[in-house]
Amino acid sequence: MSIGGPTEFEAVTAADGMNTDPSGDDAPADIQGRSLASIAWRRLRRDKVALAGGVVIVLFVLVAVFADLIAAVYGQNPDRQNNLGPTSPINDVTGLPNGAFGGISPEHILGVIPLSGQDLFINLVYGARTSLSVAITATALSLVLGVSLGLIAGYFRGWADTVISRTMDVLLSFPTLLFSIALIAVVSYINSDPAIRFYILVFVLGFFAFPYIGRIVRGQVLSLREKEFVEAARSLGAGNIRIMFREIAPNLFGPILVYTTLSIPNNMLGEAGLSFLGLGLVGTPSWGQLLSDANQYLQVDPFYLFLPGLAIFIAVLAFNLFGDGLRDALDPKSTR
């Protein structure tokens, strides 16, 4: 889903795995066939910017996974309020953090949240967990739907293709953001369980995005199904399911991988945007929620705004850089 953003998913160019001539790189001494994956890896290894993105992604994932451990070592948790007592980092009169840069101190390495005095660093750490878990699950949902429906549409053609393609067309011309807002409003009205928010967020982000990958997969399958290896498999007696998942699907690895790395940052922005509007998860810190809170202290504590903003920016940029590099590396036309 795009949050006030452009409708078209950026053209995830189809990196067709077939018939790739491995001679684009520096020619090896003895001629040997190289798989697409190894060529792509060689190219990616030379792309320092993409690799830097990859390293940052790994760091964010580690932070998200070990959030509890970090909290235990650091000695703070996202909910703990530090606004009482003589050693409180919060000014009793103004409610603002004492000291420069939002109250940075050895106990609170990135300062504290105004009024409540909650530690900002540990809120950002748990925000990473929220952001990544929603984004990855939503991407997984759109992948499962998009790949399987795209496979069916492209492989069987005929009425199945008509139904699936039309459905995808309609979904692409849906006012997604408003619809999500309405859906979240109704669902949280019916069921106020905080856990339900996770599923509904994943649904609105993942479901409305599946036509993007669905269209790519369908297009690829339409050409792949005519290839000789499919005919060979069929002549050996392979059934439709086997041909679809064992013969055709592995060739879709490239475009799916590129879509995945570019869809995760999109969903991170989507989650943050909905959280910013107050429609995100309940009871867990999220970057969008922190930004929306920071807006109230814009003039008195601007530092509070910059930290969650930077967290989103760095995480999303890392995924975008890595995804871009991956796309170039997997593109058979690329000569890099």
Partner 1 sequence: MIRFILGRFAGMILVLFIVSVVTFGIFQIGPIFANASPVFYYIGKAPATPQLVAALEHRYGFDQPIPVQYFNFIGGIFGKSITDGVSQTVQCPFPCFGYSFRQNELVSVLIGRAIPVSVSIIVGAAVLWLVGGVAVGTASALRPGTFIDRAGMTGALAAVSLPIFFTGPVLLLIFVYGLGWLPTIQYASLLDDPLRWLQSVILPWIALAFLFAALYARLTRSNMLETMGEDYIRTARAKGLDRRTVIVKHGLRAALTPIVTIFGIDVGTLIGTTVITESVFNLRGLGYLSIQAVTQQDLPIILGVTIVAALGLVIANFVVDVLYAFIDPRVAV
Residue 332 binding partner 1, by CB under 8 A: no
Q: What is the dihedral of CA 128, 134, 136, 137, to 10 degrees?
A: 150
Residue 7 binding partner 1, by CB under 8 A: yes
Which position among 126, 210, 259, 276 is part of the footprint of partner 1 (CB under 8 A)? Answer: 276
Residue 140 binding partner 1, by CB under 8 A: no
Instruction: Indicate the residue among 81 and 320 with the shorter CB distance to partner 1.
Output: 320
Helix, strand, coil fractions of the chain, as percent rounded to 5: 65, 0, 35
Site for partner 1 in 179-198 (CB under 8 A): 179, 181-187, 189-191
Question: Rounded CA gap, 49 and 323, in Å?
Answer: 11
Question: Rounded CA gap, 114 and 234, in Å?
Answer: 67
Residue 32 binding partner 1, by CB under 8 A: no
* Contact (CB, 8 A) for 327 and 15: yes
Which position among 324, 327, 328, 332 is part of the footprint of partner 1 (CB under 8 A)? Answer: 324
CA of 104: how far to CAs of 76, 98, 291, in Å? Answer: 14, 8, 18
* Contact (CB, 8 A) for 60 and 315: yes
Q: How far is the CB of 50 from partner 1 (least distance, A)?
A: 11
Question: Rounded CA gap, 307 and 120, in Å?
Answer: 8
Binding mask of the shown chain, residues 279 to 298, with x at each position contacting partner 1 by CB under 8 A: x--------x--xx-xx--x
Q: How far is the CB of 84 from partner 1 (least distance, A)?
A: 29
Of 81-89, 120-128, 154-162, 301-309, the segment contacting partner 1 by CB under 8 A is 301-309
Residue 305 binding partner 1, by CB under 8 A: yes
How many residues contact partner 1, by CB under 8 A? 54
Residue 201 binding partner 1, by CB under 8 A: no
Residue 177 binding partner 1, by CB under 8 A: yes
Phi then psi dihedrals of residue 314, to 5 deg: -65, -45
Of 63-71, 87-95, 197-205, 310-318, the segment contacting partner 1 by CB under 8 A is 310-318
Q: Which pair of tokens denotes residue 15? A: 């990196």
Question: Rounded CA gap, 31 and 50, in Å?
Answer: 29
Residue 278 binding partner 1, by CB under 8 A: yes
Instruction: Indicate the residue among 78 and 325 with the shorter CB distance to partner 1.
Output: 325
Q: How far is the CB of 174 from partner 1 (least distance, A)?
A: 6
Residue 23 binding partner 1, by CB under 8 A: no
Which position among 96, 257, 269, 281 is part of the footprint of partner 1 (CB under 8 A)? Answer: 269
Question: Rounded CA gap, 114 and 116, in Å?
Answer: 6
Residue 81 contacts by C-beta under 8 Å, 6 or more apart in sequence? 116, 117, 118
Instruction: Indicate the residue among 8 and 228 with the shorter CB distance to partner 1.
Output: 8
By C-alpha distance, which of 139, 173, 168 is closest to 262?
Answer: 139
Task: Give me the half-sphere count of Cα atoms (radius 13 Å) on the Cβ side of residue 178.
Answer: 3
Which residues would be at the binding site for partner 1 (CB under 8 A)? 2-8, 10-11, 169-170, 173-179, 181-187, 189-191, 265, 269, 272-273, 276-279, 288, 291-292, 294-295, 298-299, 302, 305, 308-309, 312-313, 316-317, 320-321, 324
